Amino acid sequence: MEKKSSILLVEDNPPSLELMKKHLEADGHQVFTAVHGRAAMAILNTTPVPLVVTDWLMPEMDGLDLCRHIRQAAFESYVYIIMVTSRTRKQDLVAVFEAGADDYIPKPVDPEELKARVQTGLRLIALERRYQETLGQMMQGRSRLEIVFDAIQEEIIVIDANGKVISVNGAFLRRTGLKRKTAIGYDYPAFLDTQLVPVVKRAFEEGQRQDYLLKLCSGDGADDERQVTAVPIQDDHRQTSIVVVVMKDVTEDRRHAKQIQSLNKRLIQTAVQLEVKNKKLETTLHQLEETQVQMLQAEKMASIGQLAAGVAHEINNPTGFVSS
């Protein structure tokens, strides 16, 4: 069953007031009544009523003044106003809408038209509420995203197609010392190194990711290095609407990489030197082996020579051999 709403009727003519109240209550609505604008404001200040049906000509505070007071008040939700009037000239209707009314019903009031106009107003109020709920959810989601956004260590700058900075994260603000409101809305060249201006421009023009190694001279004379990536984001028409610039400080990473590269080079050089020394050792060992073989051969030949000399001596002295 459809949930009905509260409606405030403001009319100084009792028969008209009772007739409209009867038809709206028959349609299931809760109806509050007031006989002039001042009494209506007293009800609105204490009771949340989303829709007001008011007459124009009333004592103390007429319908136009009531519209103005409602629009100036800080109510939590939007109040939809329908003006009931017998004045239907163009200038009169302009005055009605300029005062803040959303719709009007000509007198005499037709009950079916009254119901239809009220239902239209309630549908618009429901749409407004859904919009506010969705907006609230989006704002909550945005707040959570901003927390994550600011927790990212890389610097992030978002630039629109007009070259304006529309968002930055905490890492960028911490490095530059800027306030968020100082950066938002300004031309991006004011906050980026001049080397990066053509990088961002190419990202917009080509619609392709751009990578660039930015080198900055620090106070101690050494170079600070940042890896910069410009990522184009396209809209539904495949046109680049924003470019997200991400900057990561790679100074230490590249220093470590250079140190590792230097160590690897030294290791390779040491390995080559060890290889040369190993070859020299192998050559020396081979020479020692050859020398040992030669020495063994020489000793063998010397032993054979001594044996041959002894045999020759015995042959040359047979008498001694026989007598022995």
In a domain, 39, yes or no: yes
Domain boundary among 227, 249, 271: 249
In this prediction, residue 1 carries a pLDDT of 37
Looking at the structure, do residues 162 and 128 belong to the same domain, yes or no?
no
Closest-CA residue to 155 (of 51, 245, 90) = 245
In a domain, 97, yes or no: yes
Domain containing 124: what range? Answer: 6-146
Looking at the structure, do residues 135 and 34 belong to the same domain, yes or no?
yes
Cα(69)–Cα(41) distance, rounded to whole angstroms? 8
In a domain, 128, yes or no: yes
Q: Which residue intervals of the chain are DSSP H helices? A: 14-26, 37-44, 63-72, 90-99, 111-151, 170-176, 180-183, 197-206, 251-316, 318-323
**pLDDT tens digit at each of 324 positions of the chain:** 345 789 999 999 999 999 999 999 999 999 999 999 999 999 999 999 999 999 999 988 999 999 999 999 988 889 999 999 988 889 999 999 999 999 999 999 999 999 999 999 999 999 988 888 888 887 777 777 777 778 888 889 999 999 999 999 988 888 888 888 888 888 888 878 888 899 999 999 999 999 998 887 665 556 788 889 999 999 888 899 999 999 888 877 666 767 778 878 888 888 888 888 888 888 888 888 888 888 888 887 877 777 777 777 667 776 554 554
Domain boundary among 232, 249, 266: 249
Asked if 30 contacts 6 with a C-beta cutoff of 8 angstroms, the reply is: yes
Looking at the structure, do residues 139 and 177 belong to the same domain, yes or no?
no
In a domain, 282, yes or no: no
CATH number where 111 lies: 3.40.50.2300
Looking at the structure, do residues 132 and 180 belong to the same domain, yes or no?
no
In a domain, 76, yes or no: yes
Asked if 222 contacts 237 with a C-beta cutoff of 8 angstroms, the reply is: no
Looking at the structure, do residues 131 and 159 belong to the same domain, yes or no?
no
Cα(193)–Cα(44) distance, rounded to whole angstroms? 57
In this prediction, residue 268 carries a pLDDT of 86
Domain boundary among 118, 146, 174: 146
The end-to-end CA distance of the chain, in Å, is 148
Is 0.75 topped by the overall pTM? no
Looking at the structure, do residues 101 and 201 belong to the same domain, yes or no?
no
Looking at the structure, do residues 48 and 70 belong to the same domain, yes or no?
yes
Structure tokens at 47: 């009771």
Cα(297)–Cα(293) distance, rounded to whole angstroms? 6
Looking at the structure, do residues 205 and 237 belong to the same domain, yes or no?
yes
CATH number where 190 lies: 3.30.450.20
How many domains would you assign to the chain?
2
Only one residue has tokens 């409602």, namely: 70
